[in-house]
């Protein structure tokens, strides 16, 4: 087993380190020299994609967080309404679906019972189902109309890391492909994003190269009781994922919130010394959100929070209110989760180690939940 871990302390350490490669492999062969998406493997004719009038994403756990991020990209690049549903809720509701709805089922293992049942529920109503999956020939892709495989390679650690990043890449590809097929928003902006996607593995690599301060910070928080995570726009699901990782691995109480909701409850939790991780949107483009989150950081710090800020390189506006700053490379806003999630994975992994937990096999959890 030690040899399989390739010298890493755990499969999770190894899988975190493999992310640049996993991201690059998932993009491989799917973007043409002219920047057009090549996803013939989806086998859904462009004419049918043009008929789609609604997208519904179903998934569980970390894959659900990938879906929440996908919503921002799908709506922006395709102008289609998009809903994201926990598979366990969706399967027991009466969702409004028909033949023009495209249902995307995201699953690393391809065997999660609730996600499988959700896709059956969708197909019974005549919807097309596209699986985004990491496991060749597993049940979910076999029962779907089409599949886009993530090429993360086998993921052994129970807590998902590299599969998540590749699920994001796959979601971006699907969103861009839908946009391309439908002729919506297809112009310089999207071509620019495609180019940036091609560089993203390098950006992930850069983040990984500078994680020692994050590990040190994690060790210093081993005795903390609670950690809060704040984000907005695509940073909001990243905050949820950061909190989930901490629960799974460190067995700590952790919550992720949309920063805009701070005044509707979460700020009441802030007390002296409470660690709060804030995922800061880029100051470029949607700078309104950036400014708003900087005032949130100011507000929680004034109430005693220990602020841990994940911010883009060159974003100095956060400095006066940050106890710790973790830098991520500049990326287009919608792609930012590919870099901001990585420090949160490393943070949770190191906290688990510091607390003496079994990183690859957290208590009470299974890699694939094949029962209800």
Q: Which of 5, 185, 247, 367 is catalytic?
A: 367
Which two three-digit tokens encode residue 177?
Answer: 């492909």
- Cβ neighbours around 195 below 10 Å, total: 12
- Contact between 348 and 359 under an 8 Å Cβ cutoff? The reply is no
Distance CA 86, CA 67 (A): 9
245 is catalytic: no
Q: Which of 23, 55, 60, 170 binds ligand G6P (CB under 6 A)?
A: 60
With respect to ligand G6P, which residue has the nearer C-beta, 61 or 275?
61
Phi and psi at residue 21, in whole multiples of 5°?
-65, -45
Phi and psi at residue 12, in whole multiples of 5°?
-65, -45
Residue 108 interacts with ligand G6P (CB under 6 A): yes or no = yes
| Residue 152 beta carbon to ligand G6P: minimum distance, rounded to whole angstroms | 11
With respect to ligand G6P, which residue has the nearer C-beta, 61 or 141?
61
Residue 368 interacts with ligand G6P (CB under 6 A): yes or no = yes
Residue 5 interacts with ligand G6P (CB under 6 A): yes or no = no
x/- letters, 149..178, toward ligand G6P (CB under 6 A): ---------xxx------------------
| Residue 167 beta carbon to ligand G6P: minimum distance, rounded to whole angstroms | 8
- Cβ neighbours around 216 below 10 Å, total: 12
Rg (CA), the chain: 20
With respect to ligand G6P, which residue has the nearer C-beta, 158 or 193?
158
DSSP for 309-359? Answer: EEEETT-GGGGGG-SEEEEE----GGGTHHHHHHHHHHHHHHHHHHTT--S
| Residue 328 beta carbon to ligand G6P: minimum distance, rounded to whole angstroms | 23
Which two three-digit tokens encode residue 281?
Answer: 């949107």
Q: Which of 10, 19, 101, 112 binds ligand G6P (CB under 6 A)?
A: 112
Q: Segment contacting ligand G6P (CB under 6 A): 58-66, 70-78, 268-276, 282-290?
A: 58-66
Q: Segment contacting ligand G6P (CB under 6 A): 75-83, 173-181, 192-200, 362-370?
A: 362-370
| Residue 176 beta carbon to ligand G6P: minimum distance, rounded to whole angstroms | 22
With respect to ligand G6P, which residue has the nearer C-beta, 101 or 115?
115
Closest CA to 249 of 164, 343, 349: 349
Q: Which of 19, 101, 107, 144 binds ligand G6P (CB under 6 A)?
A: 107
- Contact between 42 and 148 under an 8 Å Cβ cutoff? The reply is yes
- The residues near 249 (Cβ < 8 Å, ≥ 6 apart) are 12, 159, 348, 349, 351, 352, 357, 359, 362
- Contact between 106 and 69 under an 8 Å Cβ cutoff? The reply is no
| Residue 310 beta carbon to ligand G6P: minimum distance, rounded to whole angstroms | 21
| Residue 74 beta carbon to ligand G6P: minimum distance, rounded to whole angstroms | 19
Point out which residues bind ligand G6P (CB under 6 A): 60-63, 107-109, 112, 115, 158-160, 365, 367-369
Catalytic residues: 367
């Amino acid at each position: 087993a030690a040899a399989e871990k390739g010298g890493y302390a755990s499969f999770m350490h190894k899988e975190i380190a493999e992310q640049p490669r996993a991201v690059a492999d998932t993009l491989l062969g799917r973007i043409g020299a002219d920047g057009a998406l090549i996803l013939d493997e989806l086998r859904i004719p462009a004419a049918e994609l043009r008929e789609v009038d609604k997208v519904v994403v179903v998934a569980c756990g970390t894959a659900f967080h990938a879906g929440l991020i996908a919503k921002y990209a799908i709506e922006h690049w395709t102008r289609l309404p998009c809903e994201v549903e926990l598979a366990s809720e969706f399967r027991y509701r009466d969702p409004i679906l028909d033949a023009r709805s495209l249902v995307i089922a995201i699953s690393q293992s391809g065997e999660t019972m609730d996600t499988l049942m959700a896709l059956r529920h969708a197909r019974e109503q005549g919807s097309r189902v596209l699986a985004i999956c990491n496991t060749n020939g597993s049940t979910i892709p076999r029962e779907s109309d089409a599949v886009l495989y993530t090429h993360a390679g086998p993921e052994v650690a129970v807590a998902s890391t590299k599969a998540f990043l590749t699920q994001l890449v796959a979601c971006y590809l699907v969103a861009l492909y839908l946009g391309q097929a439908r002729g919506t928003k297809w112009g310089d902006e999207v071509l620019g994003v495609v180019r940036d996607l091609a560089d993203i593995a390098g950006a992930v690599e850069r983040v990984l190269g500078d994680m020692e301060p994050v590990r040190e910070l994690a060790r210093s928080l081993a005795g903390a009781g609670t950690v809060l995570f704040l984000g907005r726009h695509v940073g909001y699901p990243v905050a949820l994922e950061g909190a989930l990782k901490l629960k799974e691995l460190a067995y700590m109480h952790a919550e992720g919130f949309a920063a805009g909701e701070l005044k509707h409850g979460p700020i009441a939790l802030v007390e002296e010394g409470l660690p709060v991780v804030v995922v800061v949107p880029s100051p470029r483009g949607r700078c309104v959100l950036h400014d708003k989150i900087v005032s949130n950081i100011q507000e929680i710090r004034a109430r005693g929070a220990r602020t841990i800020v994940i911010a883009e390189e060159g974003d100095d506006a956060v400095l006066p209110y940050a106890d710790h700053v973790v830098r991520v490379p500049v990326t287009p806003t919608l792609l930012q989760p590919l870099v901001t999630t990585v420090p949160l994975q490393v943070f949770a992994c190191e906290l688990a180690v510091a607390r003496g937990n079994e990183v690859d096999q957290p208590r009470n959890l299974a890699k694939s939940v094949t029962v209800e």
